[in-house]
């Protein structure tokens, strides 16, 4: 089937199991944070029903379809244009039997799905608080980077409502929001279980954090080894190369 691309849309090869993604060159394109989250969450159990909150163009959901044996993943995206791109990527990758999209605000999900419906929730939410930072002129970039319709607390609250008992929650965010993240996770009974900090290089401050929580689990937090993106010479580290260039086996 031929996929019709709109103006400024392009197909990008993900370099993994022949998967591809459609992006708008003038909009917000996925970054390494989404790649790292999909790798961080790749140990989800077989036949899991997964929800991707704020899926954007579907990069995380697409990679999880290739990295795991999930049963179904539903991507939630509020922007109509981005939602339509994600649907075309699903067709491009022949993932219609696994990956579904809905065009909706996450604040309305409790009216669509029953409580305790999902085994796993993944999310790469907007990092910047409302009314902070310089907002990009492109509306779709603003939605991707700034809390507009939903806040960090909203993402965690709805995850608590929709996760099954002992369901898993995976999120990528910025270290400067760590206190907020831990506060909201505890508030909504998603116990932080694993955290990993990501650094540009050995001499930098952490720029990304990956966190896993489990609904109504007992307290015990494991801090994994730091992940470094670049070596001294500017090349990707061995681990990052392995994440980006996984074999098709």
Q: Which residues of the chain have pLDDT under 50?
A: 135-137, 139-147, 247-249
Tokens linked to 185? 């996770």
Residue 143 has a pLDDT of: 44
Other Cβ atoms within 10 Å of 84 Cβ, number = 17
Residue 147 has a pLDDT of: 43
C-alpha span between 107 and 231 (Å, rounded) = 41
Residue 80 has a pLDDT of: 93
Instruction: State the pTM of this model.
Output: 0.90
Q: Which residue is listed with tokens 């990707």? A: 236
Distance of CA 113 to the CA centre of its chain: 20
Residue 245 has a pLDDT of: 73
Residue 3 has a pLDDT of: 85
pLDDT per residue as tens digits for the range 84-107: 999 999 999 999 999 999 999 999
The answer to whether the beta carbons of residues 224 and 230 sit under 8 Å apart is: no
Residue 133 has a pLDDT of: 52
Contacts of 238 (CB under 8 A, 6+ apart): none
3-state secondary structure of 39: helix
3-state secondary structure of 160: helix
Please report the domains of the chain, with CATH numbers, ordered by start residue: 28-244 (3.40.50.150)
First to last CA, the chain: 26
pLDDT per residue as tens digits for the range 44-79: 999 999 999 999 999 999 999 999 999 999 999 999
Residue 138 has a pLDDT of: 52
The answer to whether the beta carbons of residues 121 and 109 sit under 8 Å apart is: no
């Amino acid at each position: 089937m031929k996929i019709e691309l709109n103006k400024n849309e392009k197909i990008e090869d993900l370099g993994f199991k022949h998967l591809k993604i459609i992006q708008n060159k003038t909009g917000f394109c996925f970054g390494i944070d989404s790649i790292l989250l999909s790798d961080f969450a790749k140990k989800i159990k077989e036949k899991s029903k997964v929800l991707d909150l704020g899926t954007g163009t579907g990069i995380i959901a697409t990679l999880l379809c290739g990295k795991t044996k999930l049963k179904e993943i539903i991507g939630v995206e509020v922007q109509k244009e981005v939602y339509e791109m994600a649907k075309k990527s699903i067709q491009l990758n022949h993932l219609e039997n696994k990956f579904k999209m809905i065009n909706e605000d996450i604040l309305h999900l409790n009216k669509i799905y029953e409580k305790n419906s999902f085994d796993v929730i993944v999310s790469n939410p907007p990092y910047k608080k409302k009314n902070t930072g310089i907002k990009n002129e492109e509306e779709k970039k603003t939605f991707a980077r700034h809390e507009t319709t939903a806040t960090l607390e909203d993402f965690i609250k709805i995850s608590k409502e929709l996760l099954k008992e002992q369901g898993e929650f995976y999120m990528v965010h910025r270290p400067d929001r760590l206190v907020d993240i831990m506060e909201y996770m505890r508030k909504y009974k998603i116990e932080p279980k694993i955290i990993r900090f990501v650094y540009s290089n050995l001499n930098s401050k952490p720029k990304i954090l990956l966190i896993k929580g489990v609904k109504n689990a007992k307290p015990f937090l494991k801090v994994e080894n730091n992940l470094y993106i670049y070596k001294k010479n500017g090349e990707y580290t061995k681990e990052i190369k392995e994440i980006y260039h996984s074999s098709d086996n």
